């Protein structure tokens, strides 16, 4: 079973340390043969301090369907719909969560760490990124600090904070777990939503920090107490944590999305009008000379009169450069195009039958070209 961490042990062995492979004799001689209890105590105190710092900005989110019963002494009955997590991004009550946490809700409730519950209004949400911003009527709230994906490394500490199994629904006290950044750049769109044109789950951070149903929308922190991701999904066969959780990374593109949502604006994504896939490695020498093991293959022209078609691109063309940037794979191209302002003219380099060519593409609007309904 794979799913979003919706309404959804890391063990560390300390002991005798041998010299790692490749370590020089001098360095090996300086390496401690064991870690003292004082070292473990310092680590423990660092973890405790981090939890005390970040938890006040994390909230529990509950949503409801409101059933209007005519001729009843209880005309508006709230029926629980989902539960999740969120975090404050502005002291004036702006809170980030996942869109799938609040999707379909008639009413949204947010509980703060002091135990107070507040009705929230939806400011704006974005189906493609699965992000949403809601607001409560409160001020002077503790807000998170942003981290940056470019500084995140595999095996760094990571801390997941939120409302697993609704544990914080009553008192607002969020749970926090720790692990490491297991991998970067995970592509989960097809695993989570199949071939959906609406949703995108790419370039995700994978973490071993325990994530369970109810953690969706909560923050993933680094050791400095900065948010490096928005917890969104788990991959599991049991429906609960098995050590594979995923978070939307915080980078300039994510911050741009959240800024738009906070301002009540819909997010526009660039689109070429094509479907792309990975490049199969070429067994010939062209792999080295033409970089044909990189890039993205145009599998299908989805919009016959769209930007790619107008620029002369065809199925089986391999896009290798986009606006001067080497294209690493199909997911990289999707991100490059998606965050290009609509209407921008971009030079694209591609391979056709082994020959390198260039063309200029005017980037279109994804929702408009695909005829996606406005929400």
- Averaged pLDDT, groups of 10, the chain, 375 residues long: 46 30 50 74 95 98 88 78 97 98 97 97 97 97 97 97 96 96 92 81 96 96 98 83 89 96 97 93 53 82 96 96 95 95 97 95 96 76
Q: In this structure, what token pair is assigned to residue 238?
A: 């049991």
CATH of domain 1-7+36-266: 2.40.10.120
Task: Measure the CA–CA gap between 159 and 157, rounded to whole angstroms.
Answer: 7
Q: Architecture of domain 270-370 in CATH? A: Roll (2.30)
Which pLDDT score is estimated for 164?
Answer: 96
Helix (H) or strand (E) holding 240: none
H or E element that contains 367: helix 366-370
Q: Which residues are catalytic?
A: 100, 130, 216
DSSP state of 229: E
Residue 114: how many CA atoms within 13 Å on its side-chain side?
5
Quote the Cα angle for 186-190-193, to 5°: 115
CB neighbours of residue 280 within 10 Å = 9
pTM of the model: 0.85
- What would the two tokens of residue 344 be? 């921008």
Q: Which residues contact 76 (CB under 8 A, 6 or more apart)?
A: 66, 67, 68, 69
Whether residue 282 contacts residue 237, with contact meaning beta carbons closer than 8 Å, is answered with no
Where does CATH 2.40.10.120 sit in the chain?
1-7+36-266
What is the helix (H) or strand (E) element at residue 110, kind and residue range? Answer: strand 107-111
Instruction: Report d(CA 8, CA 208) in Å as an integer.
Output: 16
Alpha-helical regions (H) of 62-119 = 99-102
Q: Is the dihedral of CA 23, 25, 27, 32 positive or negative?
A: positive
Positions of CATH 2.30.42.10 in the chain: 270-370
308 phi and psi, to 5 degrees?
Answer: -65, -45
pLDDT, position 112: 98
């Amino acid at each position: 079973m794979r799913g979003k961490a919706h309404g959804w042990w890391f063990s560390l062995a300390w002991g005798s340390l041998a010299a790692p492979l490749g370590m020089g004799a001098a360095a090996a001689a300086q390496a401690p043969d064991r870690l003292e209890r004082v070292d473990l105590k310092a680590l423990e105190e660092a973890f405790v301090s981090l939890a005390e710092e970040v938890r006040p900005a994390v909230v529990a989110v509950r949503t409801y369907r409101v059933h209007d019963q005519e001729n009843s002494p209880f005309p508006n009955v709230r029926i629980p719909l989902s539960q999740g997590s969120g975090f404050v991004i502005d002291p004036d009550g702006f809170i980030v969560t996942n869109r799938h946490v609040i999707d379909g809700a008639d009413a949204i409730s947010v509980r703060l760490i002091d135990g107070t519950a507040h009705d929230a209004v939806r400011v704006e949400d974005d189906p493609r990124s699965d992000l949403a911003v809601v607001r409560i009527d409160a001020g002077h709230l503790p807000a998170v600090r942003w981290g940056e994906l470019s500084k995140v490394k595999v095996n760094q500490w990571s801390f997941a904070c939120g409302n697993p199994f609704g544990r914080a629904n009553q008192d607002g006290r969020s749970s926090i777990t720790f692990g490491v950044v297991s991998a970067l750049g995970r592509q989960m769109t097809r695993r989570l939503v199949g071939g959906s044109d609406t949703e995108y789950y790419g370039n995700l951070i994978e973490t071993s920090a325990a994530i369970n149903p109810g953690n969706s929308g909560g923050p993933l922190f680094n050791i400095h107490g900065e948010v490096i991701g928005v917890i969104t999904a788990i991959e599991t066969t049991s429906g609960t944590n098995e050590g594979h959780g995923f978070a939307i990374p915080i980078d300039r593109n994510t911050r741009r999305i959240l800024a738009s949502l906070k301002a009540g604006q819909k997010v526009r994504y660039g689109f070429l009008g094509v479907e792309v896939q990975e490049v199969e490695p070429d067994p010939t020498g062209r792999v080295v000379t033409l970089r044909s093991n990189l890039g993205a293959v145009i599998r299908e022209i989805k919009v016959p009169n769209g930007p790619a078609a107008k620029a002369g691109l065809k199925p089986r063309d391999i896009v290798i450069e986009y606006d001067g940037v080497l294209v690493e794979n199909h997911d990289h191209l999707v991100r490059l195009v998606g965050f290009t302002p609509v209407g921008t003219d971009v030079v694209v380099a591609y391979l056709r039958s082994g020959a390198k060519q260039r063309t200029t593409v005017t980037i279109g609007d994804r929702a408009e070209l695909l005829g996606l309904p406005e929400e």
